[in-house]
Structure 1
């Protein structure tokens, strides 16, 4: 006996639902092999399922396209902050600025190391601290640090923040659509299973071969086990076949 195989990809799920829905539009309700209740469910669910997949792909494509630009801007923001701290430290070493200046930026007075900007969180935290510290120092009459100036550093840091927020929003959307897609797959599988059970029940009194052909018209997919296909093909064609492969094809 061939065994029925439910769809295991979204493309196969959509094909199964579209095939069943197509039969529902072609055949009068009283002659249809599955219930009117499931026709309504298909009409409501299928467009939502396809739309969610489209939105997820759209979000992922946008995220992918923006990623290169995002990481370039992140690198520039990190670079300018690093250079600013180094210039400040060199001025301290030359005696042009006091060690206490480091306190404005949230740094230890006796620490001449550049803070770690490796993570986005660190970059954001230190970026705010350094920019706000320099602006506060200048308001008190301090001599501006240049090459780079804090104004240039701020331009790149704000570009990074803007892109970071956009990147997070797109990533969140893609994640939400993906999670929703998982939930909808369960719903799709339940709907397809219910329809296929109804279709098989409708044709249960037909001879096996005819029943299978009629069910396949509604999108059901059957596979033969090893040996079954060989036996059938020997009877029909007098030839041998391989192992567990499709024998009949589903009508779209």
Structure 2
């Protein structure tokens, strides 16, 4: 015998709920194979679940877009900070700046290597050190590093911080949406199980084939095992068109 397969995707869940609502409009309440109590619950949760899924999808799209934007602003900030440090080191090599200049940025006076800016946290930390150090050095009367100036570096750095904060916000929203939909999904699964149990119970007095045909009309999904031979015209179910096209 075929076995019942409950929905395992959100699209299938919505299909099951919508079919119950649709058939409730086609058949008088006293003839429905499921209770009015279940119908009321379906009518209440369907728009909420559908909206939650839609909101989650849109949030995930926004998350992807913000991720790309965040990566791009981080790349530019990293480029400008790296270039600033290289220009400063070259000025020291040429004798235009003393080695002690490095100490303003939290770098050892004899260290000409570039600090690691691989992670965003490193980029945030070193960007602040470089900007604060250069601005303090200029206030002390020292000649500014140019090409790029610290003002240009600061613009790129602050743009990175801005997009990073936006990205964190959208990540939080995405997480909240996923959790909300997940909670609703469990409730929907329980409701569909109750719905289909009631539907099958409503046709329980009929022979197995007729019971299945009746339940399928209500949206209950059955799957035949590979070793089961089923005549194509066994029943005109909701999925009959697809079955005929596949043969």
TM-score by length of 1: 0.87
Distance 1:70 1:108 in 2: 31
Q: Which runs of 5+ in 1 are unaligned?
A: 238-245
Would you say the 8 A contact 2:66–2:166 is kept in 1? no
Would you say the 8 A contact 1:217–1:250 is kept in 2? no
State the Cα deviation string for residues 52-104 of structure 1 (Å, max 9, x = none). Answer: 11112112222333433332221111111001111111222223222222222
State the Cα deviation string for residues 120-149 of structure 1 (Å, max 9, x = none). Answer: 111011111111111111122121110100
> 5 Å matches for 1:197-212?
197-212=197-212
- Pairs aligned (count): 240
Aligned to 1:233: 231
Distance 1:114 1:224 in 2: 65
Distance 1:35 1:102 in 2: 77
Q: Which runs of 5+ in 2 are unaligned?
A: 241-247
1:250 to partner: Cα distance: 4.4
Mean Cα displacement is larger for which, 148-157 or 100-109? 100-109
Aligned to 2:76: 76
Mean Cα displacement is larger for which, 169-178 or 15-24? 169-178
State the Cα deviation string for residues 162-183 of structure 1 (Å, max 9, x = none). Answer: 1111122222222322232222
1:213 is paired with a residue whose SS is: helix
Alignment of 1:114 with 2:130, yes or no, is no
> 5 Å matches for 1:16-95?
16-95=16-95
Runs of 4+ in structure 1 off by over 4 angstroms are none
1:92 is paired with a residue whose SS is: helix
Would you say the 8 A contact 1:221–1:250 is kept in 2? no
Across the aligned residues of Structure 1 and Structure 2, the Cα RMSD in angstroms comes to 2.2
Classify 1:148/1:227 alpha carbon distance in 2 versus 1 (closer, same or farther; 3 Å): closer
Classify 1:247/1:106 alpha carbon distance in 2 versus 1 (closer, same or farther; 3 Å): farther
Distance 1:161 1:226 in 2: 57
Distance 1:72 1:140 in 2: 34
> 5 Å matches for 1:150-229?
150-228=150-228
Distance 1:43 1:106 in 2: 63
1:153 to partner: Cα distance: 0.3
Distance 1:22 1:250 in 2: 16
Mean Cα displacement is larger for which, 16-25 or 155-164? 16-25
1:196 is paired with a residue whose SS is: helix
Distance 2:110 2:191 in 1: 68
Aligned to 1:8: 8
1:28 to partner: Cα distance: 3.3
Would you say the 8 A contact 1:105–1:130 is kept in 2? yes
